[in-house]
């Protein structure tokens, strides 16, 4: 789903008792917002099966050898006392349990995104032959996604993007056959 909305206002610049810009100075300001969701993230990853998570490798035909004694583990099962607490912590923290088969984790996640864009412009007529304008724009865009690929146990992060743009322009008519326009622009992303 995506919702875009905004507002704008413009006209001659008029400051009561200070300045009347009728036919000389004009302004325009706008704001545009976006709220919505991104394309769904589809997760389909291989994870340790429930048996492997507890040290049960009896499905293997090749014997699992104890690195301390050099002898095979009975029935290819590592005793719970021999499973490292650090390894178990990382396994439980960073690998989801299977939910779509013996060794598969599947999920569909939809993350939000949002944007706000602000634009302002002022035009001023210095004379019949010379006019200037200045325009500025700022946009902030934020979204979420899984950190570290598509494994939801790694967590998600919320990157953002700020954009800044500015333009200054001076147009001068020297004669019916000669016109000069100077523009200076700035953009930062």
Question: Tell me: the pLDDT tens digits for 56-84?
Answer: 999 888 999 999 999 999 999 999 999 99
Instruction: Tell me 86's DSSP state.
Output: H
Q: Residue 157 pLDDT more than 80?
A: no
Across 15-24, average pLDDT: 91
pLDDT of residue 126: 95
Cα dihedral: 96, 100, 104, 110 (round 10):
-60
Q: What is the mean predicted confidence (pLDDT) over 95-113?
A: 87
d(CA 32, CA 34): 7
Q: 127 is written with which tokens? A: 């004379």
DSSP letters for 106-169: EEEE--EEEEEEEEEEEEEEEETTEEEEEEEEEEEEEE-EESSTT-TTT-EE--EEEEEEEEEE
CB atoms within 10 A of CB 38: 14
**pLDDT score, position 26:** 97
Cβ contacts of 117 within 8 Å, gap of 6 or more: 6, 30, 31, 32, 33, 137, 138, 139, 140
Its pTM stands at 0.68
pLDDT band at 18 (very low <50, low <70, confident <90, very high): very high
In the predicted structure, residue 149 carries a pLDDT above the cut 70:
no
Per-residue pLDDT of 27-47, as tens digits, reads 999 999 999 887 788 888 899
What confidence score (pLDDT) does residue 5 get?
Answer: 96
Collapse the DSSP code of 92 into the 3-class scheme (helix H, G, I; strand E, B; otherwise coil) and give the result.
helix
Confidence of residue 164 (pLDDT cuts 50, 70, 90): very high
């Amino acid at each position: 789903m995506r919702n875009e909305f905004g507002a704008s206002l413009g006209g001659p610049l008029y400051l009561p008792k200070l300045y009347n810009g009728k036919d000389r100075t004009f302004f325009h300001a706008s704001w545009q917002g976006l709220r919505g969701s991104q394309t769904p993230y589809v997760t389909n990853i291989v994870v340790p099966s429930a048996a492997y998570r507890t040290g049960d490798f009896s499905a293997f035909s090749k014997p699992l050898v104890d690195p301390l004694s050099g002898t095979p583990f009975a029935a290819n099962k590592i005793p719970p006392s021999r499973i490292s607490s650090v390894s178990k912590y990382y396994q439980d923290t960073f690998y989801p349990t299977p939910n779509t088969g013996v060794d598969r984790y599947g999920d569909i996640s939809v993350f939000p995104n949002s944007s706000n864009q602000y634009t302002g412009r002022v035009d001023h007529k210095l004379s019949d032959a010379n006019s200037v304008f200045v325009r500025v724009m700022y946009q902030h865009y934020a979204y979420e996604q899984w950190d570290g690929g598509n494994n939801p146990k790694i967590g998600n992060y919320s990157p953002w993007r700020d954009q800044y743009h500015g333009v200054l322009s001076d147009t001068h008519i020297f004669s019916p056959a000669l016109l000069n326009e100077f523009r200076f622009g700035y953009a930062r992303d």
